Structure 1
């Protein structure tokens, strides 16, 4: 499927001491006292206090913030060292990670490109086979790029003839990318280098002489990791020329809020520019003549609907769209046409279309059915041609190719099944394994169950429950959720979660509203003025698990990251009595200032505008930072990273400082701050294992999960 990639004076010697009665081994925690400032702003008649605003400053620039981070990490590290089972979890996680993980291959010019991690490598390595039967060889090994393993190979795109490769580099988890070019035959890195790339596709022209990319203006040093991202533009880079010579292909200076991503058509004749203003799938489409870039026309003018180019066949372009189809449909548009000339090829159905590809004369359409993937086949006219056989309830990805392709590859995974790569023969329909992992556990020891429960307003919500077959409830349970931005949570494998399951814990993934599991209506029901539904769904999931005997009242932990970190922060404030422990990771915690930093301005589609009164009054009711209250809170561990330039760490810093300063019970309220890491992508394996063993040991300690070593 073709998807977008988008997208010191403060510290004194005084400390608050909290007794933690969880076990005799627990020592009292002395939190650093965080300086308060007298910052009060009146918004729409409401006086909003923000005593920790100074913690928004960049930790790499402000020594006071750096000192606060150091002091907090010192306290957190000292506490984590006392937790039973932490070392055993880390050891087992390393063992569970130690298997070869292969990515979906891409064939170009007879060559096959794919990534593989041998097991415990910090970063996956890019390999190439010069023909189907040739021996593989290393093309790019990023593991030597940084001593701490935190510099990663991000995107990589071979030219159509397979002779060259564009690739992007991510350093320290930042969203900024540096783009380079490599000669595939020799492995030599060319002199071309492109900077200030972010939220970009990388697209070769058909001749392989250059490529298109999206970039932002170069920020000043102080704002590199915090300034708002505006005025994105598309440029073309001709190989062998400096970036300064790259011609401008598309920009909208009169609409600086728009983002632009380019795709080259299958026949190479035109460039499709997809423009957006936020996180919603609402796009403007502009078609640009590759031979004459001045020749262009807008084929979808309004930022109103979702449009995903699936491919071409003859004089037709195939799109997946939600125009007049909330669960999406597949349409065809004449190359010379526009939005008004589309014809439905595969109509909307009960299941949500999650992507489609035109490959080898077939339409491969990926559906979400109750939060798991089903792939259906059609001919180019939309006539059904059966289903692609899958191993079970899980998630798939891949399906790259064009109209002439004879084969394509896809991945399959589930909660108890690591990713396996399959080859699909488009001529005879055969599906065969291409890369199967060798495992240090037996998938048959685990059961994956889907159940449905009623939320506060009666809405039927699905959840996946994963456990060892030998485990019966009530058992310590980790409940995970997200609930936003039309993002669907589907089954997927995690070695760190498996370590929890091995010890007798239960893992639950709730498909709450705000996601895309059931299309536009499901998303709309969990955003803007409806955001409370997301929290109600998650709380109802916890109540259901206790009521059904899956877990006990003092055995339930919750976890979420990014928008899911917001989820955890909000529900802990609303129902601190329901949970034993919580991990809020890289969360959006200050809902009144999120739009002032880096990518935050995009999120108004889901959250609303803090500057608008109606939105403000909704946001202040659930903003985690503003709704902390005196109550008996669960144990909370906040996790973030110093180089997160997606959700800046100031969100987590401020939330933690206020939680620690509030009479919120006797359990620990800590923050774990990773260095040279960002929002999550590109994080080296060593850091993942270290962070996960810390957090899971913390959650296990407060849910009663006993960690047993070998």
Structure 2
């Protein structure tokens, strides 16, 4: 695709030079770090004036948008979740901007409307972000987020009447909501007042989170400060009250892995009128600990301490030194214990990851022995509900070709099999998943490591030169499992395309070993894995390099940015969404300091040397031949992204445009699209999801020169 563009000229301030361990590094676009400056806003406007017409003036944009909207328009449901007298579940008629929360007395009753976030804004940009029911189920604490920001405001609702209390808790971010079992109040975390805005468009670093207790009906000013760690401003807290209601469990993180572990005896401490004495159990950041349940003082945790694939351990709060810990369920040598829930008084449901596919079983809480396994088709369990108080469970399974099947099982009837409670179905005439196929291959990376990859396509067409979307993430112990996506299905069906999901190192697909294999000084392994995936797809005649588009978001945006710098000839197009792209300054904005656990700290020389080698902003180059020109590139970000600030994308685009300006070999377009009233992704209204998906598909249609009658 050859297009002539006159890119906006971003001012280069050559006087901005940093000294990293004796190495001088210029940062000419430092001014783009200020989102409120008139110059930054003019740059964004100028970039959008190029990107939007390129996308929206294409005659295919409207057609793709209409077909995508029709495909998106099918009823969606989540698993029922029981609280007190009622079952609660989300539903969406198809194109509602936000899912609507319903309640029902029994599973056979018609659901009644309980909470509709769509009434809170005309454009759907106010979203429900987190919720917690009181122990008796009579009260609901819920968070509201605006324009995709991580900031939330907590409100409290009477479940019976549907009316809200006057309570309003502000300055809340990255917080759990945990009720005491007397149903009188809840623990939550908030940040102190900060200068300037707190709407998600700011870049101020988030520090000094504090734990508070709020009593229902009181103003936030009366909330009780329960815990703080002023000597460690980067620490963030999360709380749980034990199933018995006696203990407060506090976990502390400073990054995106490993946590400290504290507890307090709520009964012994009496009324919560001040700071609660916390007893430390784990005092070093060396492993993960997730509270599952307890029997008296014996607490069950999921941990990767001495178990890279995770196990369940028992810690007795009356004798909690590590030498007295016990193992309830041993680590599996291959499968990763992804999550665990206690149900039906004395059972633990375990969700495993087996070669990147979900597996489900139940074990005894008392002995740890296996009770039964649940049969699953190839896919991912995206949601589960169950409680120690109840015998029934629900779980929802999705795959690349099925939008979701919800199953119900009742442990009080052990001889029966799980039954289909509800099946989510597409409103698409003629769609038959049997016309498609899903393969899982294991391909060699640069160092010989075998990397799993899912390949989804129609099963009626020969191999050769199909357009192919290669998707990856590879970070933060997050696993890229089979998922259902309307836009990805559209690409396969309407474009006769191929979807390839590469499970590169840095993710959690094979436990901590896989994570460690692609983080810190091993980060390049993930990039190598991704590039090897493109080579595999060509060598095995699925496609050709000019027909491969790569896509990734957040850490996956870093993946895309690094790969088009390192091996541009492997790809025909690239889509980098909300990417982390300035690896020398990522830790200075919002919550970026938490990512040091995966990327390393650029203030330390060993990590600086490593980060500087692949930092997308710092490795932009001018092509010296048409063979190594950048692929057609679409950089996407949003003005209220306070997870990965848009400054990353702005600086990357400015650097790319400077490098290719007047370059005779760069024929492919490089576009920056900045969305308004949107954030990192969570809570994005359906209308904006469809708009963004239409932009991406229209871009791929042009960039890959797809020959399809859309």
- Normalised-by-shorter TM-score class: over 0.9
- How far residue 220 of structure 1 moved from its aligned partner, in angstroms, is 1.6
Out of 219, 232, 239, the residue aligned to residue 209 of structure 2 is 232
Q: 1:492 aligns with which of 472, 475, 483?
A: 483
Distance in 2 (CA, whole Å) between partners of 1:516 and 1:138 is 38
> Does 1:345 pair with 2:328?
yes
Whether contact under 8 Å (1:179, 1:193) holds in the other structure is yes
CA deviations over 1:139-187 (Å, ceiling 9, x no partner): 1111121222111111122222221111100100000000001111111
Matching of residues 157-556 of structure 1 within 5 Å: 157-222=132-197, 225-280=202-257, 282-291=258-267, 292=269, 294-340=276-322, 341-349=324-332, 350-360=334-344, 361-380=346-365, 381-390=367-376, 392-429=377-414, 430-439=417-426, 440=428, 441-474=431-464, 475-503=466-494, 504-556=496-548
SS in 2 for 1:487: coil
1:123 aligns with 2:98: yes
| Aligned residues of 2:98 and 2:127 also touching (Cα < 8 A) | yes
Equivalent residue for 2:13?
Answer: 37
Q: Secondary structure at the match of 1:221?
A: coil
With over 3 angstroms needed to count, the CA separation of the structure-2 counterparts of 1:339 and 1:638, relative to structure 1, is: farther
Cα distance in structure 1, aligned partners of 2:550 and 2:59: 20
> What's the CA shift for 1:508?
0.6
Q: 1:6 maps to which residue?
A: none
Residues 46-55 or 263-272, more deviating: 46-55
How far has the Cα of 1:47 moved from its partner? 1.9
- Please give the secondary structure, in 2, of the residue aligned with 1:201: coil
Query: Which residue is 1:5 aligned to?
Result: none
1:135 aligns with 2:79: no
Task: Select which of 57, 65, 81 maps to 2:34.
Answer: 57
**2:87 aligned partner:** 112
Contact 1:175 1:646 in 2 (8 A): yes
Aligned mates of 2:294, 2:456 — CA distance in 1: 41
Q: Given that residues 78 and 383 in structure 2 are in contact (C-alpha distance below 8 angstroms), is that contact kept between their aligned partners in structure 1?
A: no
SS at match of 1:652: helix
Asked if residue 706 in structure 1 is aligned to residue 676 in structure 2, the reply is no
SS of the equivalent of 2:591 reads helix
Deviation at 1:339, TM superposition (A): 4.7
Query: In 2, distance between residues paired with 1:296 and 1:49?
Result: 46
Tell me the residue number matched to 1:660: 657
CA distance in 2, matches of 1:135, 1:185: 17
* Cα distance between partner residues in 2 of 1:404 and 1:79: 56
In the aligned structure 2, how far is the partner of 1:651 from the partner of 1:526? 22
Give the secondary-structure state (helix, strand or coil) at the position aligned to 1:180: strand
TM-score of the two chains, using structure 1 as the length reference? 0.94
- How far off its partner does 1:94 sit? 0.9
CA drift of 1:694 comes to 0.9
C-alpha contact 1:319 1:331 (8 A) present in aligned 2: yes
Partner of 1:576: 568
- What is residue 78 of structure 1 aligned with on the other side? 53
Name whichever of 294-303 and 179-188 sits farther off: 294-303
Residue 685 of structure 2 corresponds to 684
Q: Deviations over 1:444-493 (max 9, x none)?
A: 22211110000000001000001122233221100000011111110110
Report if the CA contact (8 A) 1:204-1:211 is conserved: yes
TM-score, L = length of structure 2? 0.94
Q: Aligned partners of 1:312 and 1:87: how far apart in 2? A: 55
Aligned to 2:636: 639
Please report how far the alpha carbon of residue 656 of structure 1 lies from its aligned counterpart in structure 2 after TM superposition: 0.3
Moved more, 639-648 or 72-81: 72-81
Q: Distance in 2 between matches of 1:118 and 1:286?
A: 43
1:675 equivalent in structure 2: 676
Moved more, 212-221 or 118-127: 212-221
Distance 1:472 1:201 in 2: 50
Contact conserved, 1:83 with 1:698, CA < 8 A, in 2? no
State the 1:222 CA deviation.
Answer: 4.6
Contact preservation (8 Å) 1:312, 1:403: no
8 A contact 1:84–1:701 mirrored in 2: no
Does 2:521 align with 1:565? no
Contact 1:451 1:463 in 2 (8 A): yes
Residue 626 of structure 2 aligns with which residue?
A: none
Deviation at 1:41, TM superposition (A): 2.0
- Residues 85, 708 of structure 1: 8 Å contact kept: no
Q: Secondary structure at the match of 2:167?
A: strand
- Asked if the contact 2:534–2:545 (Cα under 8 Å) also holds between the matched residues in 1, the reply is no
Deviations 1:589-611 (A, max 9, x none): 10000000001000000111111
Q: CA deviation at 1:401?
A: 3.3
- Return the alpha-carbon distance in structure 2 between the equivalents of residues 471 and 202 of structure 1: 51
Can you give the 5+ residue segments of structure 1 that lack an aligned partner in the other structure?
A: 1-19
Q: In 2, Cα distance between the equivalents of 1:476 and 1:160?
A: 52
Q: Work out whether residues 534 and 548 of structure 2, in 8 Å CA contact, stay in contact via their aligned partners in 1.
A: yes
CA RMSD of aligned residues (A): 1.5
SS of the residue 2:175 aligns to: strand
Cross-structure match for 1:12: none
1:652-698 Cα offsets, whole Å, 9 max, x none, are 00000111111261110001110000000011111111111111111
Tell me, what secondary structure is at the counterpart of 1:95? Answer: helix
Q: C-alpha separation between the residues in 1 aligned to 2:37 and 2:708?
A: 40
Tell me the secondary structure at the aligned position of residue 85 of structure 1: helix
Aligned length: 681
Cα 1:336–1:400 change in 2 (3 A) is farther
